[in-house]
Structure 1
């Protein structure tokens, strides 16, 4: 987590020191990917690498719609395989600080899933819907290429696939990630 934070701050400092004087168009479609630290909190907390994909459409400088998906690597220990993932659809509100930097916030709905596989037993799938929210900083590197540092959280209740499993587990899945996207 510390390495990701140091890398993100370093990249943002490099791009802050460059002069991007061309008027960048921040409207239209965009698509990108991210890499970060995913944390699953469902009773116990587990964390690991999270990868994601996102895309959306900015209607103007301050309002857009975004779809965001992120999944984890194996979050379990030596006896259990554990994975988590979410898909969120949110309106996104942006404040342009200058032509290079902006901050954003978003809130919307999401689906979430957690799969647990204890040693030599069948998979136990937990699924549900919840609320998604996130904040972040965006930096325009060129007219079309952007990087962003964001924090997304999906919170809700998960239900077990099997009736004999645990029911209605309150769950938070968060992702702190560095992303890069192309603005069309």
Structure 2
């Protein structure tokens, strides 16, 4: 978490020093993100690093549609391996603060998956849920943007095989992410 905080602070400091011209915020954008992910399942919480890609289309200054795909590596301990991922699709509502900064909120649907390897068994939990998030976007140049976001994806996931005698799990996946995207 400290490394992600240092990276975020460094990037935001660089943004304050630099100046951005008034950028056109409409149209397509695509980017990637480094995430600090926490998975709450099985009355336990596991954290780790994840990677994501996102993209969307802004119809005007305040409304757009966005898709987000992310996955994690192993979040478990030495006896249990847990990994997670989700694909979400959301409408995104943006408020321009000035020429450089904007804030946004989004809410939508998500397809989720959690993989658990424990006690010699390999179990996949999959299902659909809801996602919501907020963030701050900074236009570094006319086309390059950096953003800091917090997203929560929640759902009731069903076991694919029921090897662990668990039929379903109520899961929350929380992401704190620093992302960079190109605005076409």
* TM range, smaller chain: over 0.9
What is the root-mean-square deviation in Å for CA atoms of aligned residues?
1.2
Distance 1:182 1:19 in 2: 17
- List runs of 5+ in structure 2 lacking aligned partners: none
Distance 1:109 1:36 in 2: 19
> What residue is the counterpart of 2:35 in the other structure?
36
> What residue is the counterpart of 2:145 in the other structure?
146
Query: In the TM superposition, what are the counterparts of 1:1-184 in structure 2 within 5 Å?
Result: 1-20=1-20, 22-42=21-41, 43-119=43-119, 121-163=120-162, 165-184=165-184
Q: Deviations over 1:128-150 (max 9, x none)?
A: 11110011110011110101001
Q: Deviations over 1:51-109 (max 9, x none)?
A: 10000000000000000011111011112221100110000000010111000100000
Could you tell me the TM-score, scaled by structure 2's length? 0.94
Runs of 4+ in 1 over 3 A off after TM superposition: none
> Across the two proteins, how many residue pairs are aligned to each other?
182
- How far has the Cα of 1:162 moved from its partner? 1.8
Distance 2:29 2:182 in 1: 5
Give 3-state SS (helix, strand or coil) of 1:16's partner: helix
Whether the 8 Å contact between 2:48 and 2:72 is mirrored in structure 1 is: yes
